[in-house]
């Protein structure tokens, strides 16, 4: 065994969101959890002990991000989706190089880890640069390289070439290679022809890969698809895309039939309440989706529209918006929100080896400060969970581990120098500015 971590509180994020007092977490040589339980029930061990003073919980899962857009953070911040894409984002992205993407993913990887997210599902381009950055900071990623056929994007190749690049990478290195899982990121039904969506779906299903796609985000984006097929989910289903592992980002504009279809096809949803609110796309029907049995995780979206990479903030916003839209003050409790940010997010991407402190899962862990005034009665389980989710969050994160390796120590990344990553991203941002 490599190490034993102890903490006054461990939140394993099991289905009942239990609160474990005087907890012990053993991490084995591979970086997986070998034991989790109370000190009294822990097996004898001669592994080095690290006594942590706070709360130990699983790393958060960000189920929808475009972290390499960090250099464009907040650009065009007052435009609706389609004008924002066509007038601001795509022209800036046309100037983006692999070096910019490497700098952005490095700084963004550090930002994600420091906010307690150990895994992010990324849809972006310049795959090699993204992978370089992820390996440099030590985070975990499900990378679904973007496939798009929209004005200007042909500079990166045709959709067939983008699809084949992913397939070749998976065929050469497997679906999961260390901390990296590869999947397919067809951008959306409004930026790809139907034959492309069907073909990418076939490539993904042949390899058991995750297909990660924007679905029914803003009302105006998919008018043509709705006119021809009724809805984007119906279109994707007719093309066979929903037969595989599918993660639908946003899924805001859904009818009752769409909700039932996503449930029937076991399509997961990456709920991005902050981005949806900022672009005025609407509020996704999270309560209805969960009630129908749809797996729902939380996503920040890219920092160009979501602005930060803080999954805790998304959890809080998801809870607030669910309550406002349902009129139910118990819609999404603190426990449910914490599980959405961890266990449910991992389930949404089909990764049952992540998202919980459980024997056999990877020791992707977060240590948050307990010595903080947000905790008014840390001895009370319900109060502790409530304070953590509604008042605490990313600002409390002190230490982070991925596969048992400490990648953030006392708020600072261990593998890279944070100041250098900030300098690099500012240089990229200055060059991209119109």
Q: Does 399 bind Zn ion (CB under 5 A)?
A: no
Residue 123 near residue 176, CB atoms below 8 Å: no
Provide CB contacts within 8 A for 182, sequence distance 6+.
142, 143, 144, 145, 166, 169, 170, 173, 175, 176, 209
Strand partners, 146: 185
Q: Which of 300, 387 has the CB closer to Zn ion?
A: 300
Q: Which of 258, 301 has the CB closer to Zn ion?
A: 301
- Least distance from C-beta 405 to Zn ion, angstroms? 29
For Zn ion, the binding residues in 269-328 under the rule CB under 5 A are 301
Spatial CA neighbour of 355 closest among 115, 11, 13? 13
Which position's Cβ is nearest Zn ion?
A: 301
Q: Which of 54, 299 has the CB closer to Zn ion?
A: 299
In whole angstroms, give the CA distance from residue 276 to residue 378.
Answer: 34
Parallel, antiparallel or unpaired: strands 365-368 and 397-402: antiparallel
CA angle 389, 394, 398 (to 5 degrees): 115
Q: Which of 66, 361 has the CB closer to Zn ion?
A: 66
Q: Which of 63, 118 has the CB closer to Zn ion?
A: 63
Q: Which of 191, 387 has the CB closer to Zn ion?
A: 191
Q: Which of 26, 222 has the CB closer to Zn ion?
A: 222
Residue 378, CB half-sphere, CA atoms under 13 Å: how many? 20
Strand partners, 55: 9, 368
- Least distance from C-beta 300 to Zn ion, angstroms? 9
Q: Which of 84, 159 has the CB closer to Zn ion?
A: 84
Q: Which of 222, 301 has the CB closer to Zn ion?
A: 301
- Least distance from C-beta 64 to Zn ion, angstroms? 6
Residue 202 near residue 240, CB atoms below 8 Å: yes
- Least distance from C-beta 302 to Zn ion, angstroms? 6
x/- track of binding to Zn ion for residues 69-88 (CB under 5 A): --------------------
- Least distance from C-beta 214 to Zn ion, angstroms? 6
- Least distance from C-beta 210 to Zn ion, angstroms? 15
For Zn ion, the binding residues in 163-222 under the rule CB under 5 A are none
x/- track of binding to Zn ion for residues 409-428 (CB under 5 A): --------------------
| Site residues, Zn ion (CB under 5 A) | 301
């Amino acid at each position: 065994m490599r190490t034993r971590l102890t903490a006054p509180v461990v939140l394993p994020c099991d289905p009942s969101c239990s609160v474990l007092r005087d907890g012990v977490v053993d991490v084995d040589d591979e970086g997986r959890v070998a034991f989790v339980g109370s000190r009294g029930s822990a097996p004898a061990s001669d592994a080095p002990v690290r006594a942590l003073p706070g709360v130990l919980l699983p790393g958060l899962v960000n189920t929808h991000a475009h972290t390499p857009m960090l250099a464009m953070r907040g650009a065009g911040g007052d435009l609706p989706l389609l004008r924002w894409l066509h007038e601001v984002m795509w022209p800036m992205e046309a100037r983006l190089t692999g070096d910019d993407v490497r700098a952005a993913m490095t700084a963004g990887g550090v930002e994600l880890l420091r906010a307690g997210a150990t895994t992010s599902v990324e849809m972006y381009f310049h795959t090699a640069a993204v992978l370089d950055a992820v390996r440099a900071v030590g985070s975990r990623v499900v990378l679904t390289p973007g496939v798009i056929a929209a004005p200007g994007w042909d500079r990166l190749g045709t959709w067939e070439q983008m699809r084949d690049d992913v397939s070749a990478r998976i065929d050469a290195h497997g679906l999961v290679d260390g901390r990296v899982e590869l999947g397919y990121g067809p951008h959306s039904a409004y930026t790809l022809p139907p034959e492309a969506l069907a073909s990418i779906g076939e490539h993904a299903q042949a390899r058991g890969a995750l297909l990660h796609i924007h679905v029914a985000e803003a009302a105006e984006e998919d008018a043509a698809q709705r006119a021809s097929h009724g809805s984007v989910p119906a279109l994707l289903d007719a093309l066979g895309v929903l037969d595989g592992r599918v993660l639908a980002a946003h899924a805001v504009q859904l009818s009752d039939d769409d909700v039932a279809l996503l449930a029937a096809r076991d399509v997961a949803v990456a709920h991005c309440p902050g981005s949806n609110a900022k672009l005025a796309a609407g509020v996704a029907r999270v309560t209805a989706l969960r009630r129908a049995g749809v797996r729902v995780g939380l996503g920040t979206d890219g920092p160009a529209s979501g602005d930060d990479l803080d999954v805790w903030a998304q959890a809080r916003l998801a809870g607030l918006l669910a309550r406002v839209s349902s009129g139910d003050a118990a819609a999404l409790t603190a426990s449910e929100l914490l599980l959405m940010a961890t266990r449910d997010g991992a389930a949404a991407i089909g990764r049952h080896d992540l998202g919980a402190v459980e024997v056999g899962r990877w020791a992707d862990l977060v240590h948050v400060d307990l010595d903080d005034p947000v905790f008014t009665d840390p001895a009370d389980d319900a109060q502790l969970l409530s304070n953590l989710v509604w008042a605490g969050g990313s600002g409390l994160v002190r230490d982070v581990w991925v596969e048992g390796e400490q990648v953030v120590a006392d708020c600072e990344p261990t593998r890279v120098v944070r100041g250098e990553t900030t300098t690099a991203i500012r240089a990229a941002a200055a060059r991209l500015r119109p």
